Amino acid sequence: MPRQKRIQDYDFWYSFLRHYVDFMVRRSYRDLRYVGRERLPKDGAIIYAPNHTGTLMDAMVLLAMDRSPKVFVARADIFKKPLLKKIFTFLKIMPIMRMRDGIDEVKRNNETIERAVEVLRDRVPFCIFPEGMHQTKYSSLPLSKGIFRIAFQAHELMGTTPLYIVPMGIRYGSFFRFRSTVRVQVGNPINVGDFIREHSDITPQEQMNRMRELLEERLRESIFYIPNDEDYEPTYEICAAVVSKQREHLESEPKYRSMRGMDVYFEANNMTVKHLDYLKRANPELSCELLRLGREAAAMRQRDGITLKSVAVRYPIVSRILKLLIFLVTLPYALAAAVASLPVTLLCRFIFKKFKDQAFRNSVRYLIYLVVWPIVMLLYAIIAFVSAPWQVALIAVLLLLPSPFVADESYRLMRLMVSDYRLWRNKPLRAKYDRIKKLMFEDREDK
């Protein structure tokens, strides 16, 4: 009797379509950057442990990091719809139960753990989101025990083969906007065998607790981390308000001078969070004033429909002129692209209504562009080649091919221009941001 196919086994269609799937992942973001890949171990099995903020797109972003196949787990309830179950299984994603699903359901996780151990023994990278659920915040949630149960059980069965848990920090420019940016940082790996040997004087349960603390620490080092407390929103507002000024300070230091784009924003934002934490202890009055201004600025900005992208821009005048020029030059093409992509746009909006959680929108849009847009393009191609000379038809098809992405980009520019204009008109709000910058950096200059 032939052996039943396992999720980690070679699949021709998976390997064949990976090029297209990864290509579409990269087209779903204006900028996709992987940092620290040299830290990935090459001498053993790997468990990826990423933070979880972007639903399916977290898995897709990690999948596109390299050409190796990877096996993932995701919450079991998203497998209930047959079509989604087929898609997730094809993408090598297994279901895992959570406590909220009930004790009886959670007991079924033993099968998932056994399958995960088989994956690792075959040296196929395994990915589990240790927070157990997604959260659209630049923060973290308590880690569940599942990843450590898998790691300890796999370590016992793998003999001399090293096993590593690798924290992966995923940082989106926006949790809800398609064609945003994403930065993935590989954290410092944890060698499971070495850790267990170094802590052989305590019980396995205590070892798991210690490893959980270590992974939490290394995961937070790999992300833009703001403590998820009552000060989260004003802290995030302050980060956006001072990020350009913070960049200037960073770029004056030799070790940061070569950094660009998302990397320097990552360092700048984390530096702001650390400084605010320092002020809470060293200068509570200044800290309270900054947080008060941050809360008031956030309320005013949200009331007037202004995005933080407008607040954080480094050269506002240059940025506004460039946006306007690009928008005007590309407008005719963007209008045609918007009309051509209308079928997928309407389908996206229809399906969005099925999800209360807006975090699923980018995943839905990605899947529709991945599956439905090629079908729509095939229909357009048939119409074009039937009704026009082949040379004209070919040019038309090539121009229409990127239509959804062109339309999304044009809409993004238009939305940002409106936001920029609203911020320019709102002098009280700009005054608050200026006050925040003054208090933050005067404090540093005085030290």
**According to the model, what pLDDT value does residue 27 have?**
93
Domain boundaries, the chain: 12-221, 232-304+428-446, 326-425
Question: 82-86, 295-299, 396-400, 424-428: lowest mean pLDDT where?
Answer: 82-86
Cβ 44 vs Cβ 163: under 8 Å:
yes
**According to the model, what pLDDT value does residue 83 have?**
81
**CATH class of the domain whose range is 12-221:** alpha beta
**According to the model, what pLDDT value does residue 1 have?**
46
Q: How high is the mean pLDDT of the chain?
A: 89
Cβ 402 vs Cβ 28: under 8 Å:
no
Say if residue 4's pLDDT is above 80: no
Using CA atoms, how far apart are residues 185 and 50, in angstroms rounded to an integer? 9
User: Of the candidates 180, 186, 288, 276, which has an alpha carbon nearest to the alpha carbon of residue 226?
Assistant: 276
**According to the model, what pLDDT value does residue 7 have?**
83
The four Cα atoms 425, 427, 431, 432 give a dihedral, to 10 degrees, of -70
Q: What is the pLDDT of residues 341-360, one digit of tens each?
A: 999 999 999 999 888 888 88
Angle at the Cα of 167 from the Cα atoms of 162 and 173, rounded to 5 degrees: 155
**According to the model, what pLDDT value does residue 307 have?**
94
**According to the model, what pLDDT value does residue 444 have?**
59
Q: Stretch 91-119: mean pLDDT, rounded?
A: 69
Q: Stretch 337-342: mean pLDDT, rounded?
A: 96
Is the CA virtual torsion 47, 52, 56, 59 positive or negative? Answer: negative
Question: Read out DSSP for 369-413?
Answer: HHHHHHHHHHHHHHHHHHHS-HHHHHHHHHHHTTHHHHHHHHHHH
Say if residue 100's pLDDT is above 80: no
Tokens read off for 204: 């396995």
Q: How far is CA 385 from CA 19, 252, 342, 344, in A?
A: 27, 58, 21, 22
Say if residue 108's pLDDT is above 70: no
User: Of the candidates 298, 301, 174, 306, which has an alpha carbon nearest to the alpha carbon of residue 238?
Assistant: 298
Q: What is the pLDDT of residues 16-68, one digit of tens each?
A: 999 999 999 999 999 999 999 999 998 889 999 999 998 889 999 999 999 88
The pairing of strands 71-75 and 93-96 is parallel
Say if residue 97's pLDDT is above 80: no
CA max distance for the chain:
79
2 pLDDT band, cuts 50/70/90, is low
**According to the model, what pLDDT value does residue 98 have?**
57
109 pLDDT band, cuts 50/70/90, is low
Q: How far is CA 208 from CA 150, 189, 379, in A?
A: 11, 16, 55
**According to the model, what pLDDT value does residue 304 have?**
95
Q: Stretch 212-220: mean pLDDT, rounded?
A: 95
Say if residue 438's pLDDT is above 80: yes
Say if residue 181's pLDDT is above 70: yes
Question: Read out DSSP for 5-21?
Answer: PPTTS--HHHHHHHHHH
**Which ranges constitute the DSSP H helices of 252-315?**
254-257, 261-282, 284-303, 308-312
445 pLDDT band, cuts 50/70/90, is low
Say if residue 105's pLDDT is above 80: no
